[in-house]
Amino acid sequence: MSRIRNTVSLMLASSGLALVCLFAGCGEGENGGEVTPATRRIILLTNGNSPYWDAFATGAKQAEEKLDVGKGGLQVVIDRGNFSPQTQIDKLRQYQGATDIVGVAICVSDPKNQALVNQLVSLSESGVKLITVDSDIDRENEKARTARFGYLGTDNFEAGQELGKAAKALRPDGAKFATFVGVKSASNAQERIGGFQDGAGENFVQLESMGDQGQADTAKKNVRDSLDRHDDLNTLVGIWSYNTPAIVDIVSDLGIREKTTVVGFDADPPSIAAMEKGNLDAMLVQDPYQMGFEGVRLLTALINDNQADIKEIFPNYGKPDGDIHETGLKVVVPSEESPIKADLFSEGTTFLTLEQFKEWLAEYNLTGS
Amino acid sequence: MSSSPSAPTPKLASGKSWRSRLPVEVGLLFAIAVVVLFTGIVDDSYRLKTAYNAKEILLQTSLLGIFALGAAIVIISGGIDLSSGSVIAFSGMICSAIMLSLSPLDESGNPDTNNLGAGIIALAILGTIFVGLIIGTFHTWLITVIGLPPFVATLASLVGLRSLGRVLIQDITGNIGTVGPSTKIYIFDPLFNDLGRVWWIPLLVFIVLSILLWLLMSKTLVGRHLYAMGGNEEAARLSGIHTDRQKWLAYCLGSVTASIAGILYCSYVGEANPESAGMGYELNAIAAAVIGGCSLTGGIGTITGTMLGALFLRVVIDSVAKTVKGSPDEFEGMIVGLLVVLAVAFNELRTGALRQKKFFPGKLGIVSLFILSGLIGIMGGVLSTSHPLWWGLGSGFAALLLLGLKALLERSASR
């Protein structure tokens, strides 16, 4: 009896798989069919989940509203990764299997990852409009570069350089510094750290770089451990948005603010509060709001073939690097008394005091950037 | 609940309803069909992109199913293996490291992984499977000789192996070529990259492994001994079964299948990164096995059930992605969690007179009634795109009425 039951079980399991196999075999060629679902989706896929992307989502949703995207049957959806290329690959494959997804903006988690690049190319070839935001593909890879229409965001190396210049102004005689980040192997992490070293100069000596895999509690532990290990560590650099508040908390706990320089990327609400209290020396702020807003505008224009909007965003399209749209950088300092001055930075970088920056946030109804 | 040839569960004793006699696979097939049908009605992707979606589900099912099979055997034998995710990460690193160290050097003196050749890839795969065998053997030693509970022994690997991988990968990459240490290894060889990306290769591996393990568990004495050990280890030992050997086999199968999955995932993702690869996958494997009818108390479960458990999980995940149009990632865990609870609860209850079961007895029942209604209300609210407050209140209130009626009927029946 049990033998019969086992055989039946095997047959049932096999038939389950066979059923799906049958679908696989019989459906060839159907992909070319015209599909016009009532609502078509534009997906904005982040590399991970952090408050940084909240401003991005706000920008995207405001664009959806202000540009009346829904009128053309389009819907904007924010989808968040978990800092792993595999999640992005999985999601891209999912998008390709859907019939209502017509545009994708992606923050590429690892531009060197060939599987991810292949998936981007495959998605683009399936007819989905594709752009990159915040983190681009490897621009040397021609296949990947042409798969995505263009890039909206900042140059992470240049952003690192600007923050490095700010740190150098705070410690003109040099410093011993450590960097704190979620995933050390992430390209934006490496570019920012490299840029920071370049901007700060050779008198800045990196003692270590710590990764926390996106865990906020580990981020704090890393700062404490680094300070324990290195008595001469005097400059702490937050590379991802949540790293700066983690640094501020530990420096405050240990009561070493007077002898420690704290600088970091992005302007999470806790970072803004820390700067108000005098616990943070400089923030290098990108403009995720603009990336979200322009991302939706560009994808809508590509889907609807609105050449005027496309031309406005990429006036030099077709020329070298004409497929890159810089969304700008901001250096934020506590006040005019800061030793960091506007003339240190590149022309495209906006220099703001905290008060000015808060006014800018209020203008766009943002709590952070 | 389906059973092994040698260890029929007492729940299948004669006199039970026809429903309890049906193998768990029938219920799962029905559930899979319902989910596929529902998805097909709500979204047209299955009709218009049938081949693409079917291949995608099969690929993802196979990648998950391969190591779920190993997890199922460990569970059937009365143990638990929490290390699968870390073994996947570690194995991917080992496989890539072997290929990297054997790859030819380019003009700059750095490894060129663009054209490795089948020999190097085969060697890397064999080496990785051997490492899986070592991990399984080490687990068995910790459990049988040192006396650690399986939960603790494999928990140590869950934490330790990933960390070891992170350290090793930097040492290995730092000593090969001129570039310096790296936290990732990229393999560009097209043959290797096809292993995890061409849909039928993982499927073939999954089917072959399933057949082999099905034969082992259903047709051999060793399989019967594993069931017997899972049912009652002491009784099995006293009846002359070498339980330590059986454990070695079970834990080695657990880690070897995870190693095979690690190789395929490494190919699928296109990189070896012990920092993030396979994070949390051990729970996916356990979930697939449990949905497939494996009992965490041991002695019960089938390979076929585990195969369908993995398929059910992937079909549900795909369905959420297809049917929830806004932020599916936020809803995925909630819906999958709910369906897992329902599937396992159904498995547990169908053998024990579902209709006679009291769900809301005593004060705990009344509190649970409100908790469930609240949860349904929250889900109703968050899933609605217009008027979330009214949808939430409406669905919560409707659930409270229905569940309250059920509670009343239960109480009146017990008088």
Cβ contact A75–B2 (<8 Å) = no
Residue A99 DSSP one-character state: S
For B291, what's the count of Cα atoms within 13 Å in the CB-facing half-sphere?
A: 31
Cα–Cα distance for residue pair A91/A47, rounded to 1 Å: 11
Which helix or strand (DSSP H or E) is residue A185 part of? none
Q: Taking a contact as any Cβ pair under 8 Å apart, which residues of chain A between 113 and 172 contact chain B?
A: 113-116, 118
**What is the model's pLDDT at position B6?**
42
In chain A, pLDDT over 70 holds for what percent of residues?
90
Nearest CA to A90 out of B281, B36, B382 is that of: B281
Cα–Cα distance for residue pair A198/A192, rounded to 1 Å: 10
In chain A, pLDDT over 90 holds for what percent of residues?
65
- End-to-end CA gap in chain B: 31
**What is the model's pLDDT at position A32?**
42
Tokens standing for residue B100: 């990297």
Residue B66 forms contact with A (CB below 8 Å): no
Class of residue B24 by CB neighbours under 10 A (exposed 0-12, middle 13-18, buried 19+): buried
The residues near A245 (Cβ < 8 Å, ≥ 6 apart) are A238, A268, A270, A271, A274
Cβ contact A17–B43 (<8 Å) = no
User: Is B256 within 8 Å of B61 (Cβ atoms)?
Assistant: no
Cα–Cα distance for residue pair A249/A242, rounded to 1 Å: 11
Identify all chain A residues contacting B182, using CB atoms and an 8 Å cutoff. 185
Residue A343 DSSP one-character state: G
Residue B104 DSSP one-character state: P
Torsion of CA B227, B230, B231, B237, to 10 degrees: 90
Cα–Cα distance for residue pair A217/B293, rounded to 1 Å: 37
Q: Taking a contact as any Cβ pair under 8 Å apart, which residues of chain A between 104 and 123 contact chain B?
A: 110, 112-116, 118
Nearest CA to B278 out of A84, A81, A216 is that of: A84
CA–CA distances in Å: residue A171 to residues A116, A201, A237, A261, B174:
41, 11, 13, 8, 32
Class of residue B228 by CB neighbours under 10 A (exposed 0-12, middle 13-18, buried 19+): buried
3-state SS class at A204: strand
pLDDT tens readout for residues B244-263 = 999 999 999 999 999 999 99
* Closest approach of A338 to chain B, Cα-based (Å): 37
Alpha helices in B149-302 (DSSP H): 150-174, 190-195, 200-219, 221-231, 233-238, 243-269, 281-291
pLDDT band at B354; cut points 50, 70, 90: low
User: The domain A156-285+329-364 belongs to what CATH superfamily?
Assistant: Response regulator (3.40.50.2300)
3-state SS class at B138: helix
Q: Which CATH number fits domain B24-351: 1.10.3470, 3.30.200, 1.10.1060, 3.90.25?
A: 1.10.3470
pLDDT tens readout for residues B19-39 = 555 678 888 898 899 999 999
Cα–Cα distance for residue pair B91/B258, rounded to 1 Å: 8
**What is the model's pLDDT at position A183?**
80
- End-to-end CA gap in chain A: 67
Identify all chain B residues contacting A110, using CB atoms and an 8 Å cutoff. 184, 271
Best of A96, A185, A215 to disrupt the B interface (most B CBs within 10 Å) is A185
Cα–Cα distance for residue pair A261/A238, rounded to 1 Å: 11
Q: For B49, name the nearest residue in chain A, comparing CA atoms only.
A: A31
The residue-averaged pLDDT of B351-379 equals 83
Amino acid identity of A123?
L
**What is the model's pLDDT at position A367?**
82
pLDDT tens readout for residues A1-52 = 455 555 555 555 555 555 554 444 444 444 444 445 568 999 999 988 777 8
* Closest approach of B371 to chain A, Cα-based (Å): 29
pLDDT tens readout for residues B106-127 = 888 888 999 899 999 999 999 9
* Closest approach of A356 to chain B, Cα-based (Å): 34
- Say if residue A237's pLDDT is above 50: yes
Phi, psi of A138 (to 5 degrees): -70, 110
User: The domain A40-154+288-326 belongs to what CATH superfamily?
Assistant: Response regulator (3.40.50.2300)
- CATH 3.40.50.2300 domain position(s) in chain A: 40-154+288-326, 156-285+329-364
Nearest to A99 among B44, B58, B326 (CB): B44
Phi, psi of A42 (to 5 degrees): -110, 120
Q: Taking a contact as any Cβ pair under 8 Å apart, which residues of chain B between 78 and 117 contact chain A?
A: none
Nearest to A85 among B28, B49, B271 (CB): B271
Q: For A40, name the nearest residue in chain B, comparing CA atoms only.
A: B325
Q: At what angle do helices B24-42 and B328-350 cross, to 10 degrees?
A: 150
Residue B374 forms contact with A (CB below 8 Å): no
Cα–Cα distance for residue pair A133/A118, rounded to 1 Å: 18
Sign of CA dihedral B163, B165, B168, B170: negative
Residue B328 forms contact with A (CB below 8 Å): yes
pTM of this prediction exceeds 0.95? no
Which helix or strand (DSSP H or E) is residue A116 part of? helix A114-125
Q: Taking a contact as any Cβ pair under 8 Å apart, which residues of chain B between 168 and 187 contact chain A?
A: 182-184, 186
Nearest CA to A168 out of A197, A144, A189 is that of: A197
